[in-house]
Chain A
Amino acid sequence: MRMSIKKTAALSVMIVCLLFTGCGTGAGSSVSGSSASAAGSSSASASQDTAAVSSVLQEQQQTSSPSRKTFSLKHIPAFKNKPYVTVNGNDPTFTKKQLTAKAYEHYSPLDSEGRCGTAVASIGKELMPTEKRGSIGSVRPTGWHLVKYDIVEGKYLYNRCHLIGYQLTGENANSRNLITGTRYLNVDGMLPFENMVADYIKETGNHVLYRVTPVFKGENLVASGVHMEAESVEDHGKGISFNIYAYDAQPGVKIDYATGDSHLTGKSAGSSDTGGADKNARGTYIINTNTGKFHKPSCYVLSRTKDKNKKKYKGYRKKLIEEGYEPCKICNP
């Protein structure tokens, strides 16, 4: 059903493709769009839409453009068991010209190493999937390894991570939209943002300009992380606005980003605070014997808990759950 919508938007796609080629920004780029959101718009606004799409796509090729300058891996702090950090004060760097209510999606061609580049889309309901996700197992992103660790939820260290999540644009086995990402990146880093954008679009019918850039250091095959920006269009960022960097990391696992090789670290065993929702990590937790919940030592719920109900525990998080304790929903230990 979604494909048929795309086909009916052929004219709009052609306009974008022609414009894209005309800018000399790379043959083979994958652009598709839908005119559904632009139905009834005047030729003047259609022209503005096209200019907005063009502006975003050109920017992918211009590392010297103002918005691309604002992000550098040099300014990202080392991973400290938190799934993401904000960038540029959490403000996205789109220009007004780039914000368009005309739905489209663009996935950069793979580079000479076979690595993904920026994926950008103006996402509206017309791009969202109407069917369950298909298989993506045929895609083998750079640095891919099938490796399992007991400390990783679901055991598999690596997932095929969509740059633009399936729930947003319905892309299945698109090699330009899938990178090798840790389970932690996929579930704790990216998914909450995708959920927020998807639910906003479903509720309001508005569009969200959404850009995800995998950040590779040098010639590494595995991305260090992903830079994610989004801004809601019709309400000028009132509903959705963020600019974050999510780490392609996994607590307790050391990754060689050049190759994708990995091994367990001894450090995680002694960590005092696991952070995030790393469901099988080790660390120090405070059990509330009254509620049967366990918390991070820093959880502020504990400030209102009687000392006699607190019990310190050091060890596997998994063991606590096996013993019937529940993780606190506030601090998400």
Chain B
Amino acid sequence: MILIACVDDDGGMMFNKRRQSRDSAVTKRIADISAGGVLWVSGYTEELFADLGCSNIRVADDPALCAGPGEFCFLEETSPGEFADRAEKLVIFRWNRRYPSDVKFDIDPDEKETVDGYRWKKESSADFAGTSHEKITEEIYTK
């Protein structure tokens, strides 16, 4: 599974059952990188892609449980830590802003050695301007 998430400076993802932030440039980027593969999302996340006509989207209540090897999963509502063992790659979009949060991104990709033996290696990091965010950072990690 290629796990995708958006994260703020405090490692937050959601607050009060709502995403912290959104940017159509990020949505487009996710659609682009997952094109040609399968992209698993929840019903809540699906609405972001409504105008993009993505035919590769699959909707499930627990998208991270459904995504198989090599398939993409854009996770918004659930902390991804419990799925870390099944993720072969992380794509993290950093807002470079602080928002309130009550759901956290609980994988520390800088952790080189863990009890489960995960080792994440930063493959790339690139900044781009969003439609409403000055600087968004896309980071890719592999095991």
> CB within 8 Å of B: which residues of A?
84, 86, 90, 191-193, 195-196, 199-200, 202-203, 238-242, 244, 277, 288, 290-291, 293, 300-301, 303-306, 309, 328-332
Contacts and interface: CB of A to CB of B under 8 A. Distances in A.
B123 interface: no
Nearest to A308: B113
B113 A195 contact: no
Contacts of A329: 7, 9-11
A290 B21 contact: no
A295 to B, nearest CB: 9
A242 B100 contact: yes
B110 A203 contact: no
Nearest to A196: B99
B105 to A, nearest CB: 7
B29 interface: no
Interface residues of B, number: 35
Given A239-B18, A242-B15, A332-B10, A203 B105 contact: no
Contacts of B104: 330
A332 to B, nearest CB: 5
A288 B10 contact: no
Interface in B95-120: 95, 97-100, 104-108, 110-116, 118
Interface in B5-57: 7, 9-11, 15-16, 18, 20-24
B125 interface: no
Contacts, number: 92
B24 A203 contact: yes
A304 B118 contact: yes
* Residue among B18, B84, B133 with the highest chain A CB neighbour number at 10 A: B18
Nearest to A326: B110
Contact of A291 (B22, B112, B118): B112
Contacts of B16: 86, 90, 241-242
A268 B107 CA distance: 30
B110 A304 contact: no
B23 A203 contact: yes
